[in-house]
Chains A and B, each alone.
Chain A
Amino acid sequence: MTHKQVRLGMPGVRGQDEPAFDSLRPPSPELVDDCVHCGFCLTTCPTYALWGEEMDSPRGRIHLMKTGLEGAPLSDTMVGHFDACLGCMACVTSCPSGVQYDRLIEATRAQVERRHDRTPKDRALRSAIFALFPYPRRLRILRGPLRLTQRLGADRLLRRSGLLERLSPQLATMQSLAPQLGKAEPTPERTPAVGERRAVVGMLTGCVQREFFPGVNAATARVLAAEGCDVIAPRSQGCCGALSTHTGREEEGRAFARALIDTFTAAGVDHVVVNSAGCGSSMKEYVHLLADDPDYAQRAADFSARVRDFAEIIAELGPVAPRHPVEAVAAYHDACHLAHAQGIRSQPRELLRAVPGLEVREIPDSEICCGSAGVYNVLNPEPARELGDRKAANILSTGAELLVTANPGCLMQVATSLERSGRRIRLAHTALVLDASIRGVPLETI
């Protein structure tokens, strides 16, 4: 479809009177019709929890999609409510009618990205994010100066000055989210199984995970090896495309997906293991993302079927490596893309509870998102901050001294929120805890 228009730097839709969606993969009317408007999704929706209004609830957004399909234009208002969705998929969990909101919002976002003109400022921010995050090499370049400012304490100075906040709240958020960086720790391309080999697994090293949390990747490889896996981490692998796909940049996401499928097909592995919840969920969705691509549809389906979350594969294989005690009181935080999008709740809890000395506590309102949601906290700093503060309060109420979760985004968001509350507790990825237990080393040394 071609659109004639003059851009005057104003936000809006190309052709104000056109219906919200064109014919290229609009949200499916059949899936929209599955919603019976019962409202069971409302209380688990983070934006409904914040604002208590229908149009910022899953049921309300589906209603907006419906009006769009019936011919209503893609107004700024409508786009605002779609943009406000965190994509946490808590509604998918709570829906008794099995509405596939994940598919609906993804299709809607792709239409929004293609057909809605964002403000120049918003466009610039999005371009910057997507020119940076999906590229580990570019992130690596950022590591040096970031680490330097952190070591000099310049980052705290910058934060206190409020300079960035005045310039752009989004930039300020990005800066505040950056974790304390340790030294780089590349994952070996091949880690042989310890003892009997039970599986050959590929390992996604990720972008943010690889550059900002290299210790997590190293621990993941060690634990997998200790549990009898040959671990292959191809150096040539790129981004999985989760951030792009979940933000409606479909074509970009597809290109990343095809490249990753090629890489891991060449590696010849039984499973592809992912230690980042958002990446894992998007890789399991390649089957939908590439369904219309004749060359890749089947390969994507095969690939998605082989993707496993880190905790999922270990539970599936059955843990065999002996555990040493880790004396701590921990709270386990469900990453939305693990619990809601992949349905993985019991496996990480069981693995953690099997660690001698480790007490695992539940966090109240655990189904509500922490506000990280991919790049949501960068694009929508205010609601993200509010959700982060609620999450921090709930975490602190458990009295835990250690927070365990399985997603780099959650780790950064929760760390920033806890810091804002003035309280600090230690944070660790599930893999770090298991690695410490298997190796018998104190958690602090990792």
Chain B
Amino acid sequence: MATHPGHPSVPDRSDGMMHGLDPAAEDRAQTAPAGAPSRGGTVADVLAELRGTLPDEALLTDPARLATYECDGLAAYRVTPGLVVLASTPEHVAATVRACARHAVPFVARGSGTGLSGGALPHAEGVLVVTSRLRTLHEVSAADQRAVVDPGVINLQVTKMATPEGYYFAPDPSSQQICSIGGNVAENSGGAHCLKYGFTTNHVLSLDIVTPDGDQVTLGTRAPDAPGYDLVGAFVGSEGTLGVATRATVRLVRLPQEVRTVLAGFAGTDEAGAATSAIIAAGIVPAAIEIMDALAIEAAEAAVSCGYPAGAGAVLVVELDGARHEVADEYAAVERICRQEGAFEFRMATDAAERAAIWKGRKSAFAAVGRISPDYIVQDGVVPRTALPEVLRQMTRISAEQGVRVANVFHAGDGNLHPLVLFDGSKAGETERAEAVSGMILDLCIEHGGSITGEHGVGSDKAKYMPRMFTDDDLDTMQLVRCAFDPHGIANPGKIYPTPRLCGERSGRRQGAHPLQEAGLGEVF
């Protein structure tokens, strides 16, 4: 990493831009000041500039090829990008972003394209920067408990490489066999095991990024903590609005001495939810607690024959991991609690294959729903764990009232719901009804003190719900952070915020200045 001294760079207030610390970037800044882009540029200008710099096969312009990039894992939103750049090096990314900055052309970063909130939805007059070819695993170091990877490296691949050393990468989204680390960083991805181990943000030590000006900088250090603002923390989960990650140093976690995965069958979600609360109340923090309801079980069985208890109205999957004695004690307690709460079947996976079968049912549930419904919306919301039974009851009521089937899969331990709203888009009115139900579910979450997204991100899909959860002042404050990184608003515009602001622009809806400005504590850049 010769060109990236391992220090975080901080925004320079004098011009509101970030500077890379490498001398080459400084030179570029002088010859082509990114702060003064030629307004009114187009994708064609960017393409012309990149033609000589990037290999031809990295630049996709054929309409048929461009069309294959029109959506990510959320196929309901489709926009054909103006240009696709298949980057093979961080320099390709930087050159592309620099060209975009110079011509004030929007860009969107994309990893494996498995996101469920349309975070990588392309911009019609913009450039889609694809990082799936940046897939070198540079270093797996057991001694340092870390791995250094390209953004296109697949999440599960990191674990596969670390396992022989006795380590693994903890964040495990259901799409871990295909989602990329770059995407995990952008979305702050979680997974079944984040109840105990935290989200992606808890596992990233340092990032090389390309800023929206095209500078290559390093955020964070490889040391466990660094002084100054936690810019890595700001970047992780920023959904591509603060730049593009081109390399990540991630934390590896020691493989537990023992893992026990149990599957308990209940009559319904009420009982399964009560068991969850009782387990946590007993002071146990399992690696994962998951609940699937009858519809979700039906779909998973159809897809992968996971062998869940027959006739169950809900299954509870509990994974306990840690030191052998500790796991044994917890296992006994979990069994007792489940039986008390009415589990009619309680079984433990006796080998790796059985454990895999249990998880396969759970992890394929989203896509498996495609077998029982032509179309569906994957919703993602959070409620306090104690509100789970009430929210589930309300959801059942809404589903019955609206005549829309809702399957439920959720990370019960942290109250992260994944209702799957089923519909048939070819029938008149069904799409609209499903969307309405989907929105009502989010309202339920907010009413009960929860959030509109647990781990899928806001992206294109949920920008419209942000005002239900945040005040205008909240949203403006967030956008001030964005402006610090992206003064020209070209990094993934249109995502997260329902009303985009240009930096320097005053809020349209609020009379007067931002409260921080009025108090003399802040100024618009």
Contact = CB atoms under 8 A, between A and B. Distances in A.
A97 B64 contact: no
A37 B375 CA distance: 12
Interface stretch (A38-46, A171-179, A287-295, A416-424): A38-46
Interface stretch (A4-12, A71-79, A313-321, A325-333): A71-79
B67 A67 contact: yes
Contacts of B303: 96-98
Nearest to B134: A52
A129 B132 CA distance: 36
Interface string B61-90: 011110111111111000000000010000
Interface string B175-194: 10111000000000000000
A38 B73 contact: yes
Interface in A8-42: 33-34, 36-40, 42
B86 A52 contact: yes
A33 B298 CA distance: 21
B154 interface: yes
B370 A60 contact: no
A95 B130 CA distance: 23
Contacts of A63: 67-68, 70
B68 A54 contact: yes
A53 interface: yes
A52 B367 contact: no
B177 A43 contact: yes
B152 interface: yes
A226 interface: no
Interface residues of B, number: 39
Contacts of B152: 52
Contact of B114 (A39, A52, A67): A39
B364 A96 contact: yes
Contact of A67 (B60, B64, B75): B64
Interface string A41-63: 01100000001111100001001
Interface in A80-125: 81, 94-98
B128 to A, nearest CB: 10
A37 B86 contact: no
Interface residues of A, number: 28
B132 A40 contact: no
Contacts of B177: 40, 43, 94
Contacts, number: 90
A78 B175 CA distance: 28
Contact of A77 (B65, B70, B135): B65
Contacts of A40: 175, 177-178, 364, 367
A106 B94 CA distance: 41
Interface string B145-167: 00000001010000000000000
Which of A33, A51, A97 is most buried by chain B, counting CB atoms within 10 A of its CB? A97
A64 interface: yes
Given A39-B178, A40-B177, A96-B304, A55 B64 contact: yes
Given A33-B374, A40-B175, A40-B177, A55 B65 contact: yes
A94 B113 CA distance: 17
Given A43-B154, A54-B68, A97 B114 contact: no
B132 A37 contact: no
Contacts of A36: 75, 367, 370, 376
A100 B304 CA distance: 15
Contacts of A95: 367
Nearest to B70: A63
Contacts of B72: 37
B471 to A, nearest CB: 35
A302 B303 CA distance: 26
Which of A34, A38, A40, A51 is most buried by chain B, counting CB atoms within 10 A of its CB? A38
Given A37-B75, A97-B367, A43 B178 contact: yes
Contacts of A37: 71-75
Contacts of B71: 37
Nearest to B152: A52
A425 B509 CA distance: 74
B366 interface: yes
A95 B370 CA distance: 11
Nearest to B75: A37
B141 to A, nearest CB: 21
A62 B118 CA distance: 19
Interface string A334-372: 000000000000000000000000000000000000000
B68 to A, nearest CB: 4
B68 A72 contact: no
A190 to B, nearest CB: 40
A94 B156 CA distance: 15
Nearest to A38: B367
B46 interface: no
Nearest to B426: A33
B133 interface: yes
A97 B304 CA distance: 10
Contacts of B464: none
A97 B175 contact: no
A116 to B, nearest CB: 13
A53 B86 contact: yes
Contact of A38 (B62, B64, B114): B114
B461 to A, nearest CB: 14
B368 interface: yes
Which of B71, B86, B133, B370 is most buried by chain A, counting CB atoms within 10 A of its CB? B370
B370 A54 contact: no
A98 B64 CA distance: 25
B73 A98 contact: no
A376 to B, nearest CB: 21
Contacts of B68: 54-55, 60, 63-64
Interface string B428-468: 00000000000000000000000000000000000000000
Contacts of B64: 55, 64, 67, 72, 75, 77-78, 81
15 contacts: A37-B75, A38-B114, A38-B366, A40-B177, A40-B367, A55-B68, A63-B70, A64-B67, A72-B64, A75-B64, A77-B62, A77-B65, A96-B303, A97-B367, A97-B368
Interface of B: 60, 62-65, 67-75, 86, 112-114, 130, 132-133, 135, 152, 154, 175, 177-179, 302-304, 364, 366-368, 370-371, 374, 376
Given A39-B73, A98-B370, 10 more contacts: A39-B112, A40-B175, A42-B112, A43-B154, A52-B133, A54-B69, A54-B113, A97-B303, A97-B368, A97-B371
Instruction: Give 6 nearest A-B pairs by CB, closest first.
Output: A97-B370, A96-B367, A96-B364, A60-B68, A37-B75, A52-B133
